[in-house]
Amino acid sequence: MTPTVDSTQARPVPVADWVTIPELHADPFPLYQRMRAEAPVHWVPAVNRYMVTDYAACHTIEQDQERFSADESGSLMKRAMGHSMLRKDDPAHDVDRKSYGGVLRPNTIKRHWNAVFEQNCATYLERLEEAGPGADLIAEFAAPYAAENLRIIMGFHNATQEDLQRWSQTLIDGTGNYADDPDVWAEAERSSREVDAAIDEMLPHLRDNPDHSLLSGLAHLPIPLEAIRANLKMTIGGGLNEPRDALGTTVWALLSNPDQLAQVLAEPSLWSTAFEESIRWVAPIGMYPRESTRDTVLEGVLVPKGARLGVVVGAANRDPKVFDDPERYDINRPKQPHLAFGGGNHFCAGAWVARASVVGVAMPRLFDALPNLRLDPDAPARAGGWVFRGVLQLPVLW
- What is 165-232 written as a DSSP string? HHHHHHHHHHHT-TT--HHHHHHHHHHHHHHHHHHHHHHHHHHHS--SSHHHHHHTS---HHHHHHHH
- Cα–Cα distance between 43 and 35 in angstroms, integer? 10
Per-residue pLDDT at 293 exceeds 70: yes
Per-residue pLDDT at 122 exceeds 90: yes
Model pLDDT, residue 1: 44
Per-residue pLDDT at 330 exceeds 60: yes
Task: Report the percentage of the chain scoring pLDDT > 90.
Answer: 91
- Cα–Cα distance between 183 and 236 in angstroms, integer? 20
Model pLDDT, residue 29: 98
Per-residue pLDDT at 7 exceeds 70: no
As a whole number, the mean pLDDT across the chain is 95
Strand (E) or helix (H) holding 291: strand 288-292
CA angle 137, 140, 142 (to 5 degrees): 60
At 215-247, the pLDDT tens digits run: 999 999 998 999 999 999 999 998 999 999 999
The superfamily CATH assigns to domain 7-371 is Cytochrome P450 (1.10.630.10)
| Listed range (12-26, 85-99, 306-320) with the worst mean pLDDT | 85-99
Q: How confident is residue 8, by pLDDT bands cut at 50, 70 and 90?
A: low
Stretch 179-198: mean pLDDT: 97
Domain ranges, ordered by start, for the chain: 7-371
pTM, whole model, 2 decimals?
A: 0.94
Stretch 302-328: mean pLDDT: 97
Per-residue pLDDT at 63 exceeds 50: yes
